[in-house]
Amino acid sequence: MDILKFLTAGSVDDGKSTLIGRLLYDTGSVLADQLEAIQKSNRKNDDGTVDLAILTDGLKAEREQGITIDVAYKYFQTEKRKFIIADTPGHIQYTRNMVTGASNADLAIILVDARKGVIEQTIRHSYLVSLLALEHIVVCVNKMDMVDYSEEVFEKIHADYHDLATKLGIKEVTFIPVSALRGDNIVHDSLQMQWYKGKSLLEHLETVAVHEVDSLLPARMAVQWVVRPQTDALHDYRGYVGRVLSGAFKVGEQVTVFPSGIKSTISRLETFDGDLQIAEEGKSITLHLEDEIDISRGDMIGEIERAPIVANEIEADICWMDTHELDTSATYFIQHQSKVTRCKIREVLYKVNINTLEKVNADSFGLNDIGRVEIKTADELAFDPYDKNKRNGGAIIIDSRTNVTVGALMLREAL
């Protein structure tokens, strides 16, 4: 049974927590003691029913403030699939939390209040999921019960968001009219919106195609460890351990080691369960080459014809995650896959106003800011543009003094 990781995003009071609570409640994923606790709770909806948002309250501070202030992970499963939900905060000051939740997600649910339509927060959240190259977007037009389940209202929001998606280059968007409070089109089809002929949210989540191996992507494996037992029984053993990031490797295929550019041929693909002739994306392997080559942790093994970009001067998008502002005079660490090296952020090219998508001058660059930067690294990195191959296009910036992760990078091109 495969796992679908998805995030929910929306502005304050759009109903994210209620939607997640409804998914958990209507799929029978609430434990008996949890159910008893929420039934005893004083938190009720206006009609006297239990407030299902309680199911996603993770922190006392969240309950006191009435908002979600961190990424809360919830788990449930049906007969068809397992799910991991990242409930991300809606406030602009928690942009970094949404970036964290989206970085490992397969799908994003963006909630739009049917009464308000597409607003600034909708633009901001959509920009972030497009920046992080999420392939599957679901727009849940929530609170349809408060607009009399109007098809006209839904179609207006559908048209407005379609224009936004086109502007952002988002290719796949699924629109579902829902009422998380009443349960319409969450798990069960709505009797109030028979004009809607699509799937319920759960049915869509159960059937959307994810985790398919993309055979069109180039083969990439970052070396995590070099195995040299140097025992009498394994005197000549030399293997390179890693996980296939994208594409596939085949025994007998010529490959290149980056950044050195040295070529060799794969002689063996070893796994815990035995040898393979082909190792595809996601497979953890020990790769053997016919030639003895000087390879270290952090090097990249890839196919010859479609080589990664190898550079130490790089342009990248960045989300700043630290309370201390970005310092162009400071030396940081950059980690790309298993490669860690020193770097300097030479220049901030611009900052993005993520409510309007306008590019502005960056007199300062602080917590939750997103923009474009130029980076100089001490050692060359072998990467792919994030929008072409996100599996090999992401990196993080680390404060060299505190070892705190201060920035998330989407690598774009060599300078």
Residue 336 pLDDT exceeds 50: yes
pLDDT at 66: 46
- DSSP helix/strand/coil, 19: helix
Backbone angles phi, psi at 288, to 5 degrees: -115, 140
Q: What is the arithmetic mean of pLDDT over 225-238?
A: 87
Residue 92 pLDDT exceeds 80: no
Measured distance CA(109)–CA(125) in Å, rounded = 10
Q: What is the DSSP letter of 326?
A: P
Query: For 262-314, how does the pLDDT look when each residue is reduced to its tens digit (9 = 90+)?
Result: 999 999 999 999 999 999 999 999 999 999 999 999 999 999 999 999 999 99
- DSSP strand pairing (82-87 vs 3-9): parallel
Query: In Å, how far are 12, 72, 237, 299, 397 from 15, measured between CA atoms?
Result: 8, 15, 57, 45, 34
Residue 67 banded pLDDT, cuts 50, 70, 90: very low
pLDDT at 212: 66
- DSSP strand pairing (358-360 vs 239-246): unpaired
Query: In Å, how far are 18, 174, 204, 218, 310 from 198, measured between CA atoms?
Result: 22, 9, 9, 36, 46
User: Beta partners for 289?
Assistant: 266
Measured distance CA(123)–CA(121) in Å, rounded = 5
pLDDT at 116: 95
DSSP states of 63-122 as a string?
A: HHHTS--S-EEEEEE-SS-EEEEEE---SGGGHHHHHHHHHT-SEEEEEEETTT-S-HHH
Distance of CA 254 to the CA centre of its chain: 32
CB 189 within 8 A of CB 181: no
CB 331 within 8 A of CB 341: no
Measured distance CA(88)–CA(393) in Å, rounded = 23
Measured distance CA(268)–CA(270) in Å, rounded = 6
Instruction: Give the chain's domains with CATH numbers.
Output: 3-207 (3.40.50.300), 220-303 (2.40.30.10), 309-414 (2.40.30.10)
Query: For 1-13, how does the pLDDT look when each residue is reduced to its tens digit (9 = 90+)?
Result: 789 999 988 877 7
Residue 259, preceding bond cis, omega within 30 degrees?
yes
Instruction: Say how many C-beta atoms besides its own lie within 10 A of residue 154's C-beta.
Output: 21
Q: What is the mean pLDDT of the chain?
A: 89
Distance of CA 330 to the CA centre of its chain: 28
Identify the CA nearest to 202 among candidates 190, 185, 178. 185
Residue 50 banded pLDDT, cuts 50, 70, 90: low
pTM of the model: 0.87
Three-state secondary structure along 271-289?
A: ECCEEECEEECCCEEEEEE
Measured distance CA(223)–CA(218) in Å, rounded = 16
